[in-house]
Amino acid sequence: MAYLLSAVDFQKMADYLYRKTGIFLEAEKHYEKVAKYIDARCAVIGADSFRKYFYALRFEDKSGDEFQALVNAITVNETYFYREKEQFEVLVERILPELHAKRPSHLPLRILSAPSSTGEEPYSIVLHILEEGKIVEERDIEIVGIDIDSTVIDKAKKGRFSERSVHAIPRPVLSKWFRAGKPGYDLIDDLIGTVDFRVANVFDRTQMRQLGKFDIIFSRNMLIYFDDASRKEVAMTFYDMLNPEGYVLLGHAEYMSRITSVFKAKKIDSTLIYQK
Ligand SMILES: C[S@@+](CC[C@H](N)C(=O)[O-])C[C@H]1O[C@@H](n2cnc3c(N)ncnc32)[C@H](O)[C@@H]1O
């Protein structure tokens, strides 16, 4: 079947998306997905060529909805609770006690999950902090979750999760903080609202500045979708957003040493963390 999107047009789309989001699309891997999406959108908006769709996307999309729909269709949102769980253990056993001892006691400790996808990562942070139980009695902790994809942020706010998404949570923890949903699992009401979720693009300096300063930034499994220049740009944004001696945690396949040397790498057991 012939798509409206030619190989040359694919490159135009890829360049445009890259400039706007840092997401790096490759023809061999992504052509079919993008082409199908554009055919579907053209049918909805009554465009009979890629040129018309691309014009509408760039020059007639005053609300930003067309761009948001494209981003929502392109992103890969795979996530689950307690993914790479050693990092959450290092967070509650080492990082939070260290920063709790260092920071003036009236200040909250602020943690950013960028990207949060549907919320499993920031809520895993909440669950580990609650299960640890001591620091949260002495210190306010604020957790913010951001993602460029508005559909995942809408889902995250609802606190409803599939069986697959909660599979790695130990059963006693699951039964304490969730109730059976129809289907899946719902967070108990007291936990809804413990994470401040917002739609934001890590490349949008204004949006990122508005989030304020953080003590810890989790940025796992997003940089793999970017190229080297974009990774560096985001790493430097995180550097600026961190309080002195704050930490960044990346996904297992992501290494700060390959991106920039401004952070100090520390190894705790098998977990690498990066300090400002
Ligand atoms: C694979 S998920 C990772 C979720 C979670 N951190 C984890 O490790 O389980 C990647 C997320 O990055 C988000 N993303 C991609 N580009 C982004 C950008 N420029 N700004 C913010 N979020 C972005 C996607 O929408 C997607 O939800």
> What is the DSSP annotation of 81-146?
TTTTTHHHHHIIIIIHHHHHHHS-TTSPEEEEESS-TTTHHHHHHHHHHHHH-SHHHHS-EEEEEE
Structure tokens at 31: 């052509």
**What's the pLDDT band for 235 if we cut at 50, 70, 90?**
very high
Label the pairing between strands 185-187 and 160-161: antiparallel
Q: How far is the CA of 250 from the centre of ligand 1 (A)?
A: 12
- For the cut 80, the answer to whether the pLDDT of residue 1 exceeds it is no
Examine the domain organization and report whether 53 and 124 are in the same domain: no
User: At 28, which CATH number?
Assistant: 1.10.155
CA distance linking residue 61 with residue 59, whole number of Å: 6
- Ligand 1 pocket test, pick from 17, 117, 124 with the greatest ligand atom count within 8 Å of Cβ, gives 117
- For the cut 90, the answer to whether the pLDDT of residue 236 exceeds it is yes
pLDDT tens track for 126-142: 999 999 999 999 999 99
Kindly state whether residue 1 falls inside one of the protein's structural domains: no
- Ligand 1 pocket test, pick from 84, 120, 144, 148 with the greatest ligand atom count within 8 Å of Cβ, gives 148
Judge if the beta carbon of residue 237 lies within 6 A of ligand 1. Answer: no
Kindly state whether residue 52 falls inside one of the protein's structural domains: yes
Q: Give the end of a domain, one of 48, 74, 100.
A: 74
Domain that holds residue 204: 86-275
Examine the domain organization and report whether 143 and 43 are in the same domain: no
Q: Give the end of a domain, one of 74, 104, 123.
A: 74
Tell me which residue of 92, 100, 186, 80 sits closest to 131, measured CA to CA: 92
pLDDT tens track for 22-54: 999 999 999 999 999 999 999 999 999 999 999
**What's the pLDDT band for 181 if we cut at 50, 70, 90?**
confident
Examine the domain organization and report whether 25 and 95 are in the same domain: no
> Contact, 222 vs 247, CB < 8 A?
no
